[in-house]
Copies of this chain bind each other. A is one copy, B any other.
Amino acid sequence: MTTLVRLCAERDIRVVSVWGNEIDRVGEAEALNALREHGITVSGYNRIVPFTPGYLEQARFELERAARFGADHVFLFTGGLAQGDRDLGMARRRVEDEMGHLLEIAKPLGMKLAIEPLHPMLTGDRTVVASVSHANDLCETLGPGIGIVIDVYHVWWDERLESEIHRAGSAGRLLGFHVNDWLLPTKHLLTDRGMMGDGIIDLAAIDRLMREAGFEGPVKVELFSRDWWERDPAEVLDVALSRCEQIFGGTQRAGTDTQS
């Protein structure tokens, strides 16, 4: 993580998202120092673990640590269906209740919760929130303190995308914007995301939707790609920045993810 922070600073990337497991690897003090030293601020903190019994204590720890890192928001991942469970409607109702409990912990800490809808191919094992629409519904029910991060990979296919981004923007709940690309063919459900421009997502169009909806934050690169993980991190950052400049017109809005 400290290397990535340095590489980012060298490229004038001033905002990152951080992962708890990456912080654990170097220790909290060193991670905080590296960020401070390079003048880098934290946007999203990953993450509140899936909602399994006893997770609330762990969630409190993550929220408190996110506050120490000055994060803007903390990602929550609901998890998919429990072993042997097929009742998706019930799982979704449970998730709503659990988000309510998390809000009670997050609010006194001044931490926002972020729902990131994931692609429907991940509904069974990663999160039961599969659309921006569903995330908007949850936020409306739960009230202030919880918002949405849009990752193009998960939502680009949705015919409701324009109206739901607009709906989220109007309510002031757009917390983040992650970019990458959908490759053809896609060889793996989790680790075959593409570099921006190598796939079929109309990234410039979705960026416009986000800006029109009032989102003013950075574009965050999040690749999850076995291919790109194998390359030199500096090279990956340089390619990502150059693509961001081509597609989004300028690097001043770029950020990155310590585990991207």
Contact = CB atoms under 8 A, between A and B. Distances in A.
Contacts of A119: 120-121
A133 B88 CA distance: 18
| Dominant secondary structure at the A interface | loop
Number of copies: 2
A158 B184 contact: no
A105 interface: no
A159 to B, nearest CB: 5
Given A131-B159, A133-B159, A159-B130, A121 B189 contact: yes
Contacts of A162: 89
What size tier do the contact residues of chain A reach? 20 to 34
A119 B186 CA distance: 14
A27 to B, nearest CB: 33
Contact of A120 (B120, B125, B133, B201): B120
A4 interface: no
B159 A125 contact: no
Nearest to A181: B86
Interface string A72-90: 0000000011000111110
Q: Which of A121, A184, A186 has the most CB of B within 10 A?
A: A121
A185 interface: yes
Interface string A199-215: 11110010000000000
25 contacts: A86-B200, A87-B202, A88-B156, A88-B157, A88-B202, A92-B159, A120-B120, A120-B121, A120-B157, A120-B158, A121-B121, A121-B186, A123-B157, A124-B184, A124-B199, A124-B200, A125-B184, A125-B185, A130-B157, A130-B158, A130-B159, A131-B158, A137-B159, A186-B189, A189-B189
